[in-house]
Amino acid sequence: MNSTVIVRIARLADGDGLPIPRYMSAHAAGADLCAAVREDVTLLPGGRAMIPSGFGIELPVGFEAQVRPRSGLALHHGITVLNAPGTIDADYRGPLNVLLANFGKVPFVVRRGDRIAQMVIAPVVQANFEEVVQLEETVRAQGGFGSTGAAAPYETEARF
């Protein structure tokens, strides 16, 4: 199954000469976003910066754009999208920026044209919220973080 939707792109002044978002393989879910910085931006370990993409988008009603990290940047450099996934709503018309963070151990330089994130276009379902006095019971009940894997035979502590 291959579905498509039209997303209108408006190139901004800082996006001159840069490619619009594009899918890098035939079945990619995310289209790569490039950095539209005028000068190199150095992200120090623990640092973050708002990086422009050089364009704005117009999504059809009923869709959102999710801005996500690129796996290679995360694995090799500790670079991620801080509010991942960042959500772009269908009624937003401003510049699309990417909030990058460096969780690595060394500075990371963002250069003009670098592929810094990916954008996934997804359908949106809006809920009708109904207030009730009590929620229906389940076996899990109020078991939260880690409650379904409490007896799992693996370590749950992250080791870096």
Return the domain boundaries, the chain: 8-125
Q: What is the pLDDT of residues 5-58, one digit of tens each?
A: 999 999 999 999 999 999 999 999 999 999 999 999 999 999 999 999 999 999
Higher confidence at residue 78 or residue 142?
78
> Which one has a higher pLDDT value, 110 or 138?
110
Mean pLDDT of 83-95: 95
| Fold of the domain built from segment(s) 8-125 | Deoxyuridine 5'-Triphosphate Nucleotidohydrolase; Chain A (2.70.40)
Would the pLDDT of 155 be above 60? no
What's the pLDDT score for residue 158?
55
Cβ atoms 115, 36 nearer than 8 A: no
- Count CB neighbours of 35 within 10 A: 23
Q: Residue 156: pLDDT above 60?
A: no
Q: What is the DSSP string of 60-89?
A: PTTEEEEEE--HHHHHHH-EEETTSSEEE-
pTM: 0.83
Element (H, E) at 118: strand 115-123
Residue 157, token pair as written in the block: 């502590």
Is 151 a residue whose pLDDT tops 70? no
Is the pLDDT at 144 greater than 80, yes or no? no
- pLDDT (0 to 100) of residue 141: 78
What is the number of other CB atoms lying within 10 angstroms of the CB of residue 123?
10
